[in-house]
Amino acid sequence: MANGLDDVVAADTVLSDVDGAGGHLTIRGHSLMELAGRWRYAQVVRLLFDGFFDDLPSDAELEKAIGNARVEVFDRVQPMLAQLAPLDIYSGMRAGMAVLPDGDGLADALRLIAAPAVLTPALLRLGRGETPVAPDEKADHAGDMLRMLSGAASPALAKALDSYLVTVCDHGLNASTFATRVVASTQAGLTSAILAGLGALKGPLHGGAPGPVIEMLDAIEASGDATAWLRKEIAHGERIMGFGHRIYRVRDPRADALKAVVRQLGSRSETGSRLAFAETVEQAALEVLRIAKPQRSIQINVEFYTALLLEAVGFPKEAFSNVFAAGRVAGWIAHAREQQATGRLIRPQSHYVGPVPDLVA
């Protein structure tokens, strides 16, 4: 059966490597552990973009250019925000991004980096009946995103969000990156390619999982018995959100990177008790899955602690996939450019298993 393209290699890439057996993620020669919590998002954008744009400036200049792009995107989308606000927050963001110019240059790329960070807080504020806050081009990207959300950003929360954006910036040929590359292979522009990635990211089997992780934690807390709740879900054929991965057969290294960030935040707030509870659910889920699916090693994935981190920095669960997109967009753009440079259209074949026409004698 060819439906999931398991083990099919569809691209050569210099961008990232996912070692599913060893549990390692490499991004352009750096291990995730080297980058997460140490590099800023703008530095990682530069790392991913290097070689794919002619006019790439220094880290500090790129940070400024991303700030300018936030202001430009805000000015562009402001007149349509009221029309986007009634949509679900992900569709509103995607529709706002769809109006951006569809070019291939650095300015196009930076607008796409800026757009989820600008649209998400603006639409959340409108949904709460509040006026959107304009970006501050001098602020750092993650800090400004939080400032646009709640009017202020503590340095600790801004650093936590920045670490999250870095942690999810790229991850091999996942479903949304593949979708992005397919569209880029037609030589369509970056906006078209990124819209394909956004569509693929939305689903609960991919980037739509962290919102349901919060719902699961709340339901388990209300039930009072994690193991019984999880067993019942599995018995009903449900999937445990935040667990399982196509490539990883061991722990997803991003889960531990994010858990460490949440732990740092938790030492000074109620996030600590939420983390302690999540850790008990994690252990219960691993045990229930080990017994229920002995044929497959189902481990924790990035989405479980994503949910805790994004909750702790102040995003509501319906916006978690938007924030995922705000980080992953850098990887999508680099992959789109890498695919465009091959000049090769992605066009696989299908195996026809339908009825054959009657042959007229």
Write out the catalytic residue numbers: 245, 303
Q: Taking the complex as a whole, how short is the minimal distance between the CB of residue 213 and ligand ACO, in angstroms?
A: 8
Select 244 or 266, whichever has its Cβ closest to ligand ACO: 244
Indicate the residue whose CB is closest to ligand ACO: 244
- 288 binds ligand ACO per the rule CB under 6 A: no
* x/- track of binding to ligand ACO for residues 202-221 (CB under 6 A): --xxxx-x------------
Contacts of 210 (CB under 8 A, 6+ apart): 241, 242, 303, 304, 306, 307, 310, 317, 320, 321, 324
Q: Taking the complex as a whole, how short is the minimal distance between the CB of residue 4 and ligand ACO, in angstroms?
A: 6
Q: Give, as ranges, the residues between 32 and 61 that touch ligand ACO (CB under 6 A).
A: none
- 290 binds ligand ACO per the rule CB under 6 A: no
Nearest Cα to Cα of residue 321 among 334, 310, 336, 308: 310
Q: Which of 147, 181, 245, 274 binds ligand ACO (CB under 6 A)?
A: 245
| Max Cα–Cα distance, the chain, nearest Å | 81
Q: Which of 38, 290, 296, 344 binds ligand ACO (CB under 6 A)?
A: 296
* x/- track of binding to ligand ACO for residues 4-33 (CB under 6 A): x-----------------------------
Q: Which of 16, 120, 299, 301 binds ligand ACO (CB under 6 A)?
A: 301
Q: Taking the complex as a whole, how short is the minimal distance between the CB of residue 175 and ligand ACO, in angstroms?
A: 7
Of 20-28, 117-125, 293-301, 345-353, the segment contacting ligand ACO by CB under 6 A is: 293-301
- 302 binds ligand ACO per the rule CB under 6 A: yes
- 242 binds ligand ACO per the rule CB under 6 A: yes
Q: Taking the complex as a whole, how short is the minimal distance between the CB of residue 306 and ligand ACO, in angstroms?
A: 8
- 246 binds ligand ACO per the rule CB under 6 A: yes
Q: Taking the complex as a whole, how short is the minimal distance between the CB of residue 327 and ligand ACO, in angstroms?
A: 11
Q: Give, as ranges, the residues between 221 and 240 that touch ligand ACO (CB under 6 A).
A: 234, 239-240
> What distances in angstroms separate CA 244 from CA 167, 206, 319, one per listed residue?
18, 11, 22
Would you tell me which residues interact with ligand ACO (CB under 6 A)? 4, 204-207, 209, 234, 239-246, 293, 296, 298, 301-303
